[in-house]
Each structure stands twice: as C-alpha cells, then as structure tokens.
Structure 1
Amino acid sequence: MTSRPHLLLVEDEPSIRAPLAAFLHKNGYRVSEAKDAAEARTLLPAHAIDLVILDIMMPGEDGLSLARFIRANGDLPIIMLTAMTEDTDKIVGLEMGADDYLAKPFNPRELLARIRAILRRSAQGGRSGAEASPGTKYLFEGFAFDIESRQLTGPDGEAIPLTTGEYDLLKVLVTRPGRVLSRDQLLDLTRGREAHAFDRAVDNTVSRLRKKIEDDPKTPRLIQTVHGAGYTFACTPERV
C-alpha cells in the first residue's frame, strides 16, 4: 500500500476549508482539518503530518503564533494563507518560519504546485516534523529504550531485538504516554498510511511487542487496550 503525504489544513472559514480539503484529497493527499490553532495543536502530535497549510487570521490564537510553536518544535513545512497583501505581512510570516506564503484569493492549483515543491525539497533532507526527534533514551519498568541506537535493553541488562515495526510502535507509545491512540493514528504515526478494513497490522505488532516487555502478555500493564478506542502506554517513562 502506497503512502500518501498527510497535510494539516488550519482554516477557520468552513467555506474555504471544506472544498480545499476535498481538492487536496482528490489530488492524492490525506488531509486533517482544524478550525483553529487549539484544534491544530491537538492534531499535530496525534498524526504524522508532512506539511501544514495555515491561515494567519483566525479567532483566538493566530496563525503566526501557531507557526512559531510549530517551528520551535521541529522543521515541519508550513505554507501560510492570508487575505493580507502587504509586503510587511509576508515578511513577518516568513520570519516566523513559514516555507511559503499565498495571499487569498488564490488558485488551488497554485497551492498544489507549491505543496509538491516543498514536499520534494523536504524529502531530500529526510522526514521532518514536530516530533521527528522526541528524545534519546527512555527508562520504564526496568527497561531502557534508546531511540537513536534503536536498542531496547531489558531489566536483566540483555538487549531485546526489535523489528522495524516494533521499534516504530514502541517509539510512538513511549513518547506519548497516557494518550489513547486509535489504530488509524498508530498506522499513520508508524507507517504513514491509513488503516483499511480488516487491517490487523497494529494489533499484530502490539501482540508481538507485549511478548517482549510485559510480564504477562495476556494481562498487559504497559500497553493497555482501550476498548473501542485503541491503545495507550500506561506508564510514564523517564527521559534521560
């Protein structure tokens, strides 16, 4: 199954947000929609976002403030949308860390071309994102998980081999302790794709990982199932 880039569209005006999301989806992108900065802040850590399309003028926290937050936490590409046309406004947006700037009204095809260009440049340097480098080492229940070396060490000091899928899943869980993550979110965060009917990839990986870190995999304490919602990592790792 091919992975489609995942965009976050932050726009308070439904008459702009809905048709633009539909257009981008039709052209091969997954799109999450946020009506304001608060909703965007919730969606960013819950998905593997590849690029943010961000309106500057929004009620509450504005787009410039949200762009500053995104840039402070990584190098996730940002395209700013605004009705403002003054050069000074454009400069401020770019200084806040935006990769590009498009004034309203705009041709959706021009936005599409800019998205493709930015994602091509981003791909050349590897995947970026608000949580691309969550930390170095996490300690939990006697285990030591080193993200950079991709090594998990058990309470007995012995290395525990992890498959790529198990490593990706454990990385997502330990960096988001206590958060309930759906299967769709876990697939997006670990594999960059959407779940499909009868997709058991997440459940199978959880089962294998439980056998490696749980005292009793049939009664798990660390990776807990939240029925009807997904999974949660039920302890708080120490980041060192």
Structure 2
Amino acid sequence: MQVKTHILVVDDDLEIRELLDEYLSKSGFNVSTVEDGESLNQYIDQQGFPDLILLDVMLPGDDGFTLCQQLRKSSNVPIIMLTAVSDEMDQIIGLEIGADDYIAKPFNPRQLIARIKAVLRRVNITQEPTHDTLPKQIHFGDWSLDTLAHRIVNRETDQSHDLSGSDFSLLMLFLNRPNEVLDRDTISIATKGRESLPFERAIDVQLSRLRNRLGDSAKYPHYIKTMRGNGYILAVSVEQER
C-alpha cells in the first residue's frame, strides 16, 4: 500500500486548520495540525519531520518567519508560507529565509493543492536520483556542491552553506546547464513546478539568496550573471565527480 504524503498545518485559526484538514485529507494526504510554534516543536520532537509544512506567518509567540528560520537550521523539509493577500513583503521575507513557496490568504483550495504538488514534485526530482545518475560532487569556480548533503563548500576558504530544497533545485538547474541563458519561466518551472506569475518577485529573491550564498556581488556577479531582457546564466565552468 502506498504511504500517503504527510502534511503538517501550523495555523492558530481553528476553522482554517479544520478546513485544511478536511480538504487535504480528501485530496489523499495524511494531515496533522498544530496551532503555534511551541506545539510545532513538540510535534517534531515526538513524531519527526513531516513531508511538507504549511506555515502561517501570523502566529502567537514565535511568528512564521522565526519558525521557518529555526526549521532551516535542522531540516530541508519543504515549507509553504501562508501569507496575507496584500502583503508582498511577507512573501519576499519568507522566500529569503528559506521557504519553498508561499500562497496568499484567502486562497483557492485547488490552487493550494497545485502548489503543494508542485513543491513535492520538485523535491522528489531533486532527492530521488540514484547514485548512477547524480554525481556526488559538482565543482564550479571556487565552490563544490555535495549533492547528497545539499551543501556547498568553498574550496579556498572552507566556508560552507546548507541549501534549502528550492536553493538546491535552482543551483542544480544552473549546474546542469552552464553558460546557457535561462529565462524566468524556465527557472520557475524547475524550482516551483509552474511558470512565473506576472510581477512575481519569487525568482528575484531566490536568485539573490543563492548569489549571497556564493558570495557574489549584487552589482558585479561572478557566478550567476543577469542577461537583461533574456534571463540569467552561470558563467563558470562545471566539473562533475562521481
């Protein structure tokens, strides 16, 4: 029997928790719900990490941003932030601290399911390749990517960074297609499973976060360069080590 994907909902609104529990369960997911950061941490301590977390921004005690940062210190579990519909800054901050995607309240349940499936599909693509198809190390510029640990290490300084699922997907996209211009839709489909929405800032935030990881100058990037009007390009050579 196929094991159901386990989703943990973190929201202080009982009605929303019950509605999400009902709808996600009907859609074939195994659902658990908690109301705040304290109960989230207790759940993880007792049950371990779920397959995906739906995390509300506005929570009593530690807010969703704080909890997302805490989770990223110990896990790459996919996180979708639930944000206020009019607050673009919430969405940008969530992506900057490692969330995989966001959806604004009030949301269409079908849209939520589509976002969940897109994130899970992307995670499965980046986590399931076998040792025969995925190199153990990928070297580019001064950096090496450990594809199993999802960690980049600077070979000159020994500085290292653990990558979230979306950061890893984005970097792998560039490493698999070096010196090739990638447009925003290509990047969005690879990292979020959908085309970029008009005026969406998610791609800009993801690229900025990855550039920061690589120590790239925002004005004069060495690794990921902007090709105005066309997209972005990884402008260094890449070597794979199996």
What residue ranges of structure 1 are gaps of 5+ in the alignment? Answer: 128-147, 149-240
Cα deviation 1:131-167 (Å, max 9, x = unaligned) = xxxxxxxxxxxxxxxxx9xxxxxxxxxxxxxxxxxxx
The answer to whether the 8 Å contact 1:56/1:81 transfers is yes
Q: Which amino acid is the alignment partner of residue 43 of structure 1?
A: Y
2: CA distance, partners of 1:70 / 1:119: 18
| Coordinate RMSD, CA, aligned | 1.6
Q: Which residue of 2 aligns with 1:185?
A: none
In the alignment, the residues of structure 2 paired with residue 89 and residue 117 of structure 1 have an alpha-carbon distance, to the nearest angstrom, of: 21
Partner of 1:110: 111
Structure 2 unaligned residues grouped into runs of 5+: 129-147, 149-242
1:87 deviates by 2.1
Q: Which residues in structure 2 correspond to 1:108-147 (within 5 Å)? A: 108-126=109-127
**Alignment-derived partner of residue 98 in structure 2:** 97
Q: Deviations over 1:173-194 (max 9, x none)?
A: xxxxxxxxxxxxxxxxxxxxxx
- What residue identity is the alignment partner of 1:117? A
Structure label with greater radius of gyration:
1
CA contact (8 A) 2:53 2:77 kept: yes
Opposite residue 36 of structure 1, the aligned amino acid is D
Kindly indicate whether residue 58 of structure 2 is the aligned counterpart of residue 57 of structure 1: yes
Determine if the alignment matches structure 1 residue 43 to structure 2 residue 43: yes
- TM-score, L = length of structure 2: 0.51
* 2:85–2:106 Cα contact (<8 Å) kept: no
Structure 2 residue matching 1:49: 3-state secondary structure: coil
Contact 1:52 1:78 in 2 (8 A): yes
State TM-score, norm by structure 1.
Answer: 0.51
Shift of 1:50: 0.4
Q: Distance in 1 between matches of 2:56 and 2:84?
A: 9
How many residue pairs get aligned? The number is 128
For 1:1-240, list aligned pairs within 5 A.
Answer: 1-45=1-45, 46-83=47-84, 85-126=86-127
Contact 1:11–1:17 (CA<8 Å) still a contact in 2? yes
* Deviation digits for residues 189-212 of structure 1 (CA, Å, limit 9, x no counterpart): xxxxxxxxxxxxxxxxxxxxxxxx
Q: Is the 8 A contact 1:8 1:34 kept in 2?
A: yes
Amino acid at match of 2:121: R
